[in-house]
Structure 1
């Protein structure tokens, strides 16, 4: 059956708050060489979407201007050279953009099968967080079994994923969160110590435990020098976002004397080849854990596509636990 010419979508009318997300009609994308087109069932909602909406995170050259970095659904078109997917396959995929729509095109190598036992709704919320956690915690951060791992924002999509994967791979997991309820969730997911940052100083907790071998941080701001204090000698700090700002005063003598590594990355601008390599690693090492039920996405809420603005407002209020999705299909 031929695809329609147009589709429902949500666009960013102008830089601003959640109210600038506006339903619209757009042309259905074509599958270019090496690409597939997915009929979207669900799309994940992520912090980078909000940054793009605010005018702070422009899409890469050639990418759709529509927000949405992950989705699940059915393959409805395959481009030249694509052999790994066929029409009708159910997939989830990391997207260059365009997920807030009925159809989206993405490199075929960035798609993964829906893990056995998971719904399309759950699968839509895997790619952005699992690609990010794998590349930053296990590749860039080099987390090893037995190491002490601290993740900030333990009940965010990134946090819930990082806690589970670090636990499964044998690390000792510590997490920060802002309420007793959220701390309980962190503990249930596998954190041996959940730190309510309103009542306790994570620096004191980590130093008492021997220091963190690895910290994953998306807060930034005054957390940066505090993270350095919380690290063990030879520890690594990986920043993936800066919710409280990207600037801080740092004592680099500590980095030298204690042999610390300060690093970070952002996923969206990375090459298609790099993202394909992460997809292959996830398929080999993490997808079996999802199919076996040893790891699962933590789901908070789902909104209709046309209510993307409400989904963003909910995310930015900070009361959610786990992932927020949009129902598209």
Structure 2
């Protein structure tokens, strides 16, 4: 299943995410995903595993041109020249000569001049054919408005936290108004059950509504959530390093949720964010130095 971006480029709707995947596990996960049938891999400079993504791609034997590779520029590399160099670092680590999608990882609201300069670098890379599409991540509607006022190319993608307990309707509506595709990180609610996030989280995987829908279709809760994203027109990038789960997460094209089931999942939204609030300035983000290629 493919989605068409606002510049006509097509992107597989379902991809493998590698956030928090240890470098030593990432190459094997990417290899397993590509052998399973995935053709979209999402990584980021700040994940520190771009080299291993490239290794997994080469190990799989799948042709580079058949795989949609997406990565992200970290805030410490924002700025026009710095972001052009961030691109060089990314392709050097991945071992490729171009990227399919390059996005800004965070909005950095208190240093927005650097965000605009970074995005203008993305526009240059796009115009030069070094990337096929550009976008943003974790941008809220006011961030998008500020960006669009100062730049020329509308982002193709906005990747945000999005799962049944946090559906971000305002962000999705703003994206839709501008013709920006919404892409979900933590699409199966991993952030609601990752260790170290506190004791008061509700695990979306165990939600009775989702478990009930999963039983009705003889599918897993994760598969139901991924199908929900796909049927509502979003891209989703579930993360796993387990080959069985990687394969399970891809096995979502042989069933369909009813309108009532989609509505029941939509109704689970709590409005409670699991990850960092993009409106809160985080100067510590700028302390992370991205290694050279």
Q: Which has the higher strand share?
A: 1
TM range (shorter): 0.3 to 0.5
Higher relative contact order (CA 8 A, sep 6+): 2
The TM-score, its normalising length taken from structure 1, stands at 0.30
